[in-house]
């Protein structure tokens, strides 16, 4: 099975904003296990901006929002990919960094190049680690967030599944902190979740549950099953593959 896995900033960063290398290493262990089980994996990883922000704590003066994003992502992406390379090397898994912009998904020559780059990596057993090129993509060139990017990548690579890892188990019938709320485990095609989605979004990344739900609905409509799950739960990826019924998550059926 070919699976696109998206890891959100909140999974990869600690409370103090620093990179959670323990979590990262545990997720790499799981991805390596899935690969040994015969699955092909494409990783879409956020965390660059959050990681850069924590690296550059010494900057005291104010930066405008574009400067911040460009500077933090440039510094953070380098650190992030360096960590991934190190962790995957332990398993002998070669990885390749793919930094992209929205233009590469429009109907142009750029799209063909993007498609070709994904194809050649997968054919040669290289694990693609994709992120938005936040350093150069500004305003209209930007993806809504990496949830949108992961849906586009899943479609482009003809993945059979998309797993979106966040810091919450999935979509609830109300506020997740309310004991009355229940986790929605299955979403059938055509089901509208509007009434359940909470506006509140987590701190480190750009996305939120609304965006995840939209991306999941559109991606499932394209024939790819989508799972939203909690990347902070131990062994979540392996559990999702081996024991889905007993693993908290929201699955969008296609």
Instruction: Quote the least distance from Cβ 51 to ligand GLU, whole Å.
Output: 7
Burial class (CB in 10 A: 0-12, 13-18, 19+), 56: middle
Choose the stretch contacting ligand GLU; rule: CB under 6 A; options: 165-173, 175-183, 199-207, 223-231: 199-207
Q: Are 128 and 121 in contact (CB under 8 A)?
A: yes
Kindly state whether residue 208 participates in binding ligand GLU, applying the rule CB under 6 A. Answer: no
| Residue number, 165 or 241, with CB nearest to ligand GLU | 165
Stretch that binds ligand GLU, among 83-91, 111-119, 127-135, 224-232 (CB under 6 A): 127-135
Q: Which of 128, 170, 207, 231 binds ligand GLU (CB under 6 A)?
A: 207
Stretch binding ligand GLU (CB under 6 A), from 27-35, 118-126, 167-175, 200-208: 200-208
87 phi, psi to nearest 5 deg:
-65, -45
Question: With respect to ligand GLU, which residue has the nearer C-beta, 9 or 247?
Answer: 9
Binding mask 58-97 for ligand GLU (x = CB under 6 A): ---------------x------------------------
Instruction: For ligand GLU, give the closer residue by CB, 49 or 241.
Output: 49
Q: Which of 26, 100, 114, 132 binds ligand GLU (CB under 6 A)?
A: 132
Rounded to whole angstroms, how far apart are CA atoms 157 and 169?
A: 26
β-sheet with 127-132: strand ranges across: 95-100, 127-132, 40-45, 2-7, 161-166, 225-230, 250-252, 186-187
Our finding on whether 47 is near ligand GLU (CB under 6 A) is: yes
Contact between 205 and ligand GLU by CB under 6 A: the answer reads yes
Is 4 among the residues that bind ligand GLU (CB under 6 A)?
Answer: no
Classify residue 198 by burial, with Cβ atoms within 10 Å: 0-12, 13-18, 19+: middle
Binding residue (CB under 6 A) for ligand GLU from 3, 34, 49, 228: 49
For helices 65-89 and 48-55, what crossing angle results, to 10°?
100
- Tokens coding 238: 């392996």
Would you count residue 250 as binding ligand GLU (CB under 6 A)?
no
Provide the binding-site residues for ligand GLU, judged by CB under 6 A: 9, 46-50, 73, 131-132, 134, 145-146, 205-207
């Amino acid at each position: 099975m070919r699976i696109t896995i998206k890891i959100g900033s909140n999974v990869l960063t600690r409370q103090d904003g620093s990179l959670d290398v323990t979590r990262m290493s545990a997720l790499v262990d799981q991805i390596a296990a899935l690969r040994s089980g015969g699955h092909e994996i494409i990783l879409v990883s956020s965390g660059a901006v959050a990681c850069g922000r924590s690296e550059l704590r010494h900057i005291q003066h104010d930066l405008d929002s574009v400067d911040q994003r460009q500077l933090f992502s440039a510094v953070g992406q380098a650190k992030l990919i360096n960590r991934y390379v190190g962790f995957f090397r332990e398993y002998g898994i070669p990885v390749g960094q793919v930094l992209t912009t929205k233009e590469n998904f429009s109907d142009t020559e750029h799209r063909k190049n993007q498609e070709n780059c994904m194809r050649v990596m997968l054919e040669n057993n290289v694990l693609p680690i994709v992120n938005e090129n936040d350093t150069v993509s500004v305003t209209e060139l930007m993806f809504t967030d990496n949830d949108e990017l992961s849906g586009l990548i899943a479609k482009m690579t003809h993945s059979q599944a998309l797993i979106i890892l966040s810091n919450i188990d999935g979509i609830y019938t109300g506020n997740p902190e309310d004991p009355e709320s229940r986790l929605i485990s299955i979403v059938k095609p055509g089901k509208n979740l509007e009434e359940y989605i909470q506006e509140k979004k987590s701190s480190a990344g750009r996305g939120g549950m609304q965006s995840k739900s939209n991306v999941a609905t559109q991606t499932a409509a394209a024939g790819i099953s989508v799972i939203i799950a909690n990347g902070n739960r131990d062994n979540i990826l392996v559990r999702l593959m081996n024991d889905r019924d007993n693993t908290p998550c929201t699955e969008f059926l296609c």
